[in-house]
Chain A
Amino acid sequence: MPEKDFVACQAAIEPQKGPRRLVDAAIAGTAVAALCVAFAVGLAIRQLPYFVVYLAAAIAIALLLRRGPMAGIAERVGAAFGSSRPTAVGVLVLALAAYPILFQGNPYLIQVGALSAIYVIMASGLNITLGYAGLLDIGFAVYFGAGAYTSAQLAVNFGVSFWIGIVLGGLCASIFGFIVAWPALRVHDHYLGLVTLGYGLMMNLLARNLRFLTNGTDGVINIPPPSIGAHDFTRPLILGPLTLPFQANFYYLALAIALITCFVSYRLRESSLGRAWEAIREDEIAARCSGVNARGMKILAFSTGAFFGGVGGSIFAHMIGYIGPDSFTFLESITVLVMVVLGGAGNIVGAALGAVLLVIIPERFREFQELRLLLFGVALVLLMIGRPQGILPRRRARRLLPQEKLAALSLGEAGPGRNARASSDGTLGA
């Protein structure tokens, strides 16, 4: 691969200024808004045949944008996203906030929205373990269960408030992540997958058998809903002139926590911790020899990911009012795993998208309750063959060269010896 002229390289990632920047923001904002509208339309379609047509059209457009004549448009929009991320995120958050207002006549859809947000939290958690650090965890439901049982039992038996319970639930889940991290220090890849799988199955069996902790197969019932001051989450949400169905309470709760989760996992990825995680994923031995504490970082990855799993479980338990061993089975672990891989491991928006799709699409096919898992299987195989990297794979941010330093180094055209070699490298490089 010939080396590019680095000045040209720099120009491409120079921050945009003036009108171009405004145009970019407009494009990005419009694109997000358009996607949200398209998504809302999909939700609003009631008859299944129409929905199938809609889905086919969506996939067709996505394919056209990738390869077909519209690829240019996609590229332009992609560039706009790159330079005006805050605008895009802002529009998205507004749209998400407007969702319960738009669908206030349909509490069921609001509930599905809340469930999606819960799964976004969990997928973001697994994205840290699997996407960043590359640690295969097929027992993620354990953390969901740990969080759910902790805050549920605390609330039911000791009247502990949900707001404390959710934190304790997350922490308890991280302990379960911490526990499995120890064996995980010694095994890799498939073996790690099998260890976590065995761990998940074992914990589920224990939850069925350790009745004094979990009430066995009966589970924990009548889990009280959260409340803020006098406002109980089972009562309608009144926002000025608007009265939203009570599900909106849970929706906004889960949405807020999901957004925080995404922000946290974004910051983590862009930090030296995130870099160290990715280095372990890429080559653990090289990472260790470069000063990365692989043991510590792996434990941290498992515990952090598990924390979010626990938070998700906690919200779930208080929303549904029930938690039992059947709520965190192997299938649950697989679902979260597939969400991350389907969306694009390592990419936050990808994992979130995977979560939303995997909650909403099966809900849309409820008429085919019986065939759901069959179709799920078919979809998995097709996706893995067609797009194994996920819908939105991770794209690395381009860093701006430290300009002052670059000038100070006076690499310019000086140093004839090195420069001459630089120009001949294209032919020398293997």
Chain B
Amino acid sequence: MPRNLLWTERLTIDFGGIRAVDGLDLEVRRDEVLAIIGPNGSGKTTLFNLIAHLYTPTSGKIHFGNPPVDLAKYAAHEINALGVARTFQTIRLFPNLTVVENVLIGMNARLKGGLISAVLRPPRTRRQETEAEEEALEILSLFGHRLISMYNEPAFTLSYANRRRLEIARALASRPKLLLLDEPAAGMNPNETREVMEDIRRIHEGGRSIAVIEHDMNLVEGIAHRVVAMDHGVKIAEGSYREVRADPEVIKAYLGSGANASGMPASGART
């Protein structure tokens, strides 16, 4: 079994004049929680969009799985089926679908059946639907009562924190080998952030590799096995949280971008 679940090879993408990701070599190891940090506009979200094949790389490759396949050869929904699921920095739910329906969509790639079985609804299809709903409930239960109590409510009625949770639940419904989380704690208060941390830990214990983009250094310190720092589309540091935080390149990058509260905290952060 190779150590890496996903690795990129000189991955590059240009938007007009901007090179948002520049010759990036990055790996996500099996069974790890990798945190990706970097100042605003450093290309982190773009990296996720490349992995999900919402963008096609200008050059370079993205390998995934065992035996490895080149993700650039697959469409976004096929990548989901291969075992990569994600959340979005700007929450993208299906606002008029109910909470449970949102989760069921995450299973779409796995559910079988075409027009005929949809219309005739044979026992097999009915069973599949029941099992899907049970699984959805199980996934929702990860967040206690919070989402289950809103089971039949449209997603747009959820609170901000619950929307973020529902996005994670939907991604989990795809049974991903690799879960990509784009700033899961953005806009959350300290209590909620701590809870997100616990949730991510629990999801990881459930046997999933996770790559998480995050600005909150407490959260990064709390969950990441490894940290990669990016700036201007380039990987500038890699290693444990302590190593990366002490890296002069990283400090320079954050200072250069006008460090702020959401950026790199001063040394001696809270535990």
Contacts and interface: CB of A to CB of B under 8 A. Distances in A.
A292 B77 contact: yes
A279 B95 CA distance: 9
B157 A3 contact: no
A275 B125 CA distance: 14
Interface string B69-111: 0000001110011000110100011111110110011111111
A421 B144 contact: yes
B148 A430 contact: no
Interface stretch (B27-35, B113-121, B224-232): B113-121
Contacts of A399: 98, 100, 133, 151-152
Contact of B148 (A272, A290, A411, A428): A411
Contact of A304 (B85, B115, B192): B115
Interface residues of A, number: 52
A9 B162 CA distance: 18
Contacts of B44: none
B39 to A, nearest CB: 25
B118 A272 contact: yes
B215 interface: no
Chain A binding surface SS class: helix
A273 B148 contact: no
Contact of B141 (A288, A293, A409): A409
Interface string A1-42: 101111001000100000000000000000000000000000
A46 interface: no
Interface stretch (A72-80, A319-327, A400-408): A400-408
A421 B159 contact: no
Given A268-B115, A276-B105, A429-B162, A290 B149 contact: no
Given A278-B97, A291-B174, A422-B144, A273 B149 contact: no
A419 interface: yes
Contact of A425 (B76, B115, B137, B146): B146
B133 A291 contact: no
A264 interface: yes
A6 B92 contact: no
Interface string A253-296: 00000000001100110011111101100110111111111110
A190 interface: no
A3 B150 contact: yes
A429 B81 CA distance: 33
B178 interface: no
Given A275-B105, A288-B54, A293-B75, 15 more contacts: A3-B149, A267-B119, A268-B118, A282-B96, A285-B76, A285-B92, A288-B76, A290-B173, A293-B77, A398-B98, A399-B100, A402-B137, A411-B141, A411-B145, A422-B145
12 contacts: A3-B146, A267-B118, A279-B105, A286-B93, A288-B77, A291-B109, A291-B110, A292-B109, A399-B151, A402-B134, A406-B137, A428-B189
Interface of A: 1, 3-6, 9, 13, 263-264, 267-268, 271-276, 278-279, 282-283, 285-295, 300, 304, 396, 398-399, 401-402, 405-406, 409, 411, 415, 418-419, 421-422, 425, 428-430
